[in-house]
Structure 1
Amino acid sequence: MPIRRGDWDDEECMGALLSVSFVDDPFVRWLLPKSRDFLLDSKKHPRRAYSAAFDAGTVYVIGDFAGAAVWLPPGAKKDRSEAIAQTETSVATESQIFPPEFQALVSQSAAYCPSDPHWYLGLIAVDPAYRGHGVGTKLLEYCLAVVDRDGLPAYLESTNKANRSLYRRFGFQELAEVRVGLSPPRFPMLRPARKQNV
């Protein structure tokens, strides 16, 4: 399957992909246990959290949205998870408010984020219909080649224990298991800088 750069025209498809690929993610469903809230949030999450990646051209789509990876390059505005946590936990809507532990969980996880220049993997999503076919592997291979051309480290925060073995295969090292109250764990992971073989 070919991999291409995504752009703002892909926003709706990205929201649809998130709605199917994160339906069983322990962290996301802890945040959004109600089906309606989960589906509505999936549509707005790409713009709310990853505008900087769309603007930078560092959203990567494989096939006809079999999967996608959202990266923030060095110097790009960071993932807005912390700002979202502060807003969403303080402003209730009629149907939804994020758990009170969310803000502390995101803040404690962010403490492991490198201060030096690095690439940040905001999310990788694979349509369940394509799981087990190497889609996530192909996305990581492709994107980490871009990272390695820069000779910089890569950082992510895994929200699903099942994904950590894939990240480890690509050289990511687990820094911590972060949990607050009844929250599911987040796993900050760092891949040290590598130079691409020439």
Structure 2
Amino acid sequence: MIVYRSLEVTLEETTIRQGGWEDEELLGALLSVSFSADPFVRWLMPKSVDFLQDSPKHPRRAYSQAFNAGTIYVIGDFAGAAVWLPPGTKKTDRSEEIALAAPPSEGSGHSFPAEFPALISQSAAYCPSEPHWYLGLIAVDPAYRGRGLGAKLMEHCLTFVDRDGMPAYLESTNSANMSLYERFGFKLLAEVRVGSAPPRFPMLRPAQK
């Protein structure tokens, strides 16, 4: 496993640093506040108890390889974070696929919607076959939104994507975030809809020559 090294940088008095396993709990807490109104996540877990119990488990379940590779980036005092999966990461590590085999709160009686597997399968069809960086998530604490922190995280992280000369891929679960991705060169590949599920938006940023 390659470990990606990055120096801390200061952008308008906001530091971006690499996260590690010691940040697992903090990342889970960030997810619990930043994705509380995400259409896809709350479609999966409409009950608040399921959502809150699952958030602390999600980083380890979905992004172990990002922790090990040093490709988690934190801005400020955990005002936001971006999680990238490096080229060569097995697609079985993607959070939704792991979640299929790991119910969010055992014993709660919660199960995922019937459309879930088809939605993931149809979305995955747009994932590049060639090596690429995968943006697993980018999150900003609602208390710090409107300050451009998401854009600063994206700009910082795309420097190593471009250094490697590789494409970047993501699947947005919220149409409100697409303008940020488009600003940084991501192109919409499709709007994937299955039954009652909220749409997913596969997006690709071609390699920058």
Preserved contact between residue 63 and residue 95 of structure 2 (Cα < 8 Å): no
Q: Secondary structure at the match of 1:71?
A: strand
Name the CA distance, whole Å, in 1 between partners of 2:178 and 2:107.
34
- Equivalent residue number for residue 69 of structure 1: 82
Preserved CA contact (<8 Å) 1:85 1:103: no
Q: TM-score, normalised by structure 2?
A: 0.89
Match status 1:116 vs 2:130:
yes
What amino acid does structure 2 have at the position aligned with 1:163? Answer: N
Flag the structure with higher helix content.
1
Instruction: Please report the TM-score for the alignment, with normalisation by the length of structure 1.
Output: 0.94
Aligned counterpart, 1:51: 64
Match of 1:27 among 31, 37, 40: 40
C-alpha distance in structure 1 between counterparts of 2:144 and 2:106, whole Å:
36
In 1, the alpha carbon distance for the partners of 2:190 and 2:97 equals 22
Moved more, 94-103 or 164-173: 94-103
Moved segments of 4+, more than 6 Å: none
What is the distance in 1 between the residues matched to 2:21 and 2:139? 17
How far does residue 88 in structure 1 lie from its aligned partner after superposition?
4.7
Read off the aligned partner of 1:44 and give its amino acid letter. Answer: K
Aligned residues: 194
State the distance in 2 between where 1:58 and 1:92 align: 29
CA distances 1:14-41 after superposition (whole Å, capped 9, x unpaired): 0000000000100000001000100011
Q: CA deviation at 1:82?
A: 4.9
Q: How does 1:82-97 map to 2 (within 5 A)?
A: 82-88=96-102, 93-97=107-111
Could you tell me whether the CA contact under 8 Å between 2:94 and 2:136 is conserved in 1?
no
Unaligned 5+ segments in structure 2 are 1-13
Deviations 1:116-169 (A, max 9, x none): 010000000100011110000000000001100001000000000000001000
Q: Deviations over 1:53-103 (max 9, x none)?
A: 0011100000110000000110123343353253257x9843311111111
Separation of aligned partners in 2, 1:83 and 1:172: 23
In structure 2, how many angstroms separate the alpha carbons of the residues matched to 1:173 and 1:83?
24
